[in-house]
């Protein structure tokens, strides 16, 4: 897409799309992307391949979890230029998520607030969908598939055995189809979930997921943990040490934030929106800081996926220079349009 067309999308978004309901607009846009799959999947991946976790990624930039929660548009999204697509968050049981409205734009900040609450079809339905995809995959390049798993809301967060069984159920059914798995313990929208980031709880959980995924798939599925930007630096280091001790392949840094510092949006608008995870440009500084902290501490022993506030080529290059092996984005995709991933991956070469 040319620069003029990219500007045209921005104009359309800022003048018209921003006035539409955020969640409805998401579903309509995603339906259009899926309908275009026959055309999109004929186009070669842009950018340069990246070797990480024993996998060959078609390029550096992928789509973060949250856009395709149920694995319904993986290859169409790959056709837009994303070298990997992380689906989910998937929970063991299907759940509707939080009451609507639950997705909000902050255009002046190029940000989004969501409190979706892990709305998804559940592990069994998603596994069935992925099995059908695997049986019908055409020849040729495809995006690397990450599967992000989280806790079912009704499972008590203070019952460690129940939490481990919940994640294990998802891992058992989804690992056979995953190129890599991500354990999500950092969304702010499931009550108590972030307490699982404490290493004394996270360690046993990750061990269960690792063991279950190997048993279910007959191979070592690369396993990563996704952490919050709101962790204190010492807790970030503790998670990195845990990942190294357990032999995890990597860390996804970072999820959304509960902070609201330095936003341009009017305070009354922020107050009206209420609780939820903030993503987009305001997350950039802390996500970059966490990434640097992880790389400085772990060296090259962990694969690091940098995500949070990556809006343009300068942001992407800065994240790679700071030590990211791979990148993910979601909010910038909303604001910049369907050709953004292809432009970014071409520009990174």
Confidence at residue 330, expressed as pLDDT on a 0 to 100 scale: 98
Confidence at residue 343, expressed as pLDDT on a 0 to 100 scale: 96
Query: Does 118 belong to an annotated binding site?
Result: yes
Confidence at residue 139, expressed as pLDDT on a 0 to 100 scale: 74
Residue ranges of the chain whose pLDDT lies below 50: 1-4, 6
Confidence at residue 2, expressed as pLDDT on a 0 to 100 scale: 43
Residue 91 CB neighbour total at 10 angstroms = 30
- Sorted by where each begins, the domain ranges of the chain are 3-348
CATH fold label, 3-348: TIM Barrel (3.20.20)
Query: Does 255 belong to an annotated binding site?
Result: yes
Query: Does 70 belong to an annotated binding site?
Result: no
Report how many helices (DSSP H) and strands (DSSP E) the chain contains, helices first: 13, 13
Instruction: Quick: pLDDT tens for 284-299.
Output: 999 999 999 999 999 9
Query: Does 331 belong to an annotated binding site?
Result: yes
Confidence at residue 4, expressed as pLDDT on a 0 to 100 scale: 44
Query: Does 180 belong to an annotated binding site?
Result: no
Confidence at residue 89, expressed as pLDDT on a 0 to 100 scale: 98
Classify 133 as helix, strand or coil. helix
Query: Does 254 belong to an annotated binding site?
Result: yes
Query: Does 148 belong to an annotated binding site?
Result: yes
- Dist. CA 290–CA 276, nearest whole Å: 21
Confidence at residue 11, expressed as pLDDT on a 0 to 100 scale: 65
Which has the closest alpha carbon to 121: 160, 77, 170? 170
The full DSSP string for 296-325 is: HHHTTSSEEEEESS--SHHHHHHHHHTT-S
- Dist. CA 301–CA 257, nearest whole Å: 26
Query: Does 151 belong to an annotated binding site?
Result: no
Active site residues: 187
Which has the closest alpha carbon to 29: 73, 82, 63, 71? 73
């Amino acid at each position: 897409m040319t620069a003029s067309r990219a500007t045209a999308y921005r104009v359309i978004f800022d003048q018209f799309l921003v006035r539409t309901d955020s969640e409805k607009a998401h579903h309509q846009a995603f339906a259009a992307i899926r309908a275009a799959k026959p055309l999109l999947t004929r186009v070669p991946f842009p950018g340069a391949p990246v070797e990480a976790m024993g996998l060959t990624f078609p390029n550096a930039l992928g789509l973060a979890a949250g856009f395709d929660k149920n694995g319904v548009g993986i290859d169409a999204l790959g056709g837009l230029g994303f070298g990997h697509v992380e689906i989910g968050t998937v929970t063991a049981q299907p759940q509707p998520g939080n009451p609507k409205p639950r997705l909000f734009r902050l255009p002046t900040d190029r940000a989004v607030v969501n409190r979706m609450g892990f709305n998804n079809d559940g592990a069994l339905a998603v596994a069935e969908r992925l099995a059908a995809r695997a049986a019908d995959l055409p020849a040729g390049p495809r995006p690397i598939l990450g599967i992000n798993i989280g806790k079912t809301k009704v499972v008590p967060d203070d019952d460690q055995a129940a939490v481990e069984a919940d994640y294990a159920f998802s891992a058992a059914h989804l690992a056979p189809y995953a190129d890599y798995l991500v354990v999500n313990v950092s969304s702010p929208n499931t009550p108590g979930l972030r307490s699982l980031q404490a290493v004394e709880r996270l360690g046993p959980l990750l061990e269960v997921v690792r063991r279950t995924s190997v048993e279910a798939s007959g191979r070592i599925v690369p396993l990563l943990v996704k952490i919050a930007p709101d962790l204190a630096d010492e807790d970030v280091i503790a998670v990195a040490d845990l990942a190294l001790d357990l032999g995890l392949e990597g860390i996804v840094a970072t999820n959304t934030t509960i902070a609201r510092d330095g936003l341009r949006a009017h305070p009354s608008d922020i107050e009206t929106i209420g609780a939820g995870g903030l993503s987009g440009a305001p997350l950039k500084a802390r996500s970059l800081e966490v990434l640097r902290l992880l790389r400085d501490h772990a060296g090259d022993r962990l694969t690091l996926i940098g995500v949070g506030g990556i809006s343009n080529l300068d942001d992407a290059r800065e994240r790679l220079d700071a030590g990211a092996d791979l990148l993910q984005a979601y909010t910038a995709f909303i604001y910049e349009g369907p050709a953004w991933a292809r432009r970014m991956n071409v520009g990174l070469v």
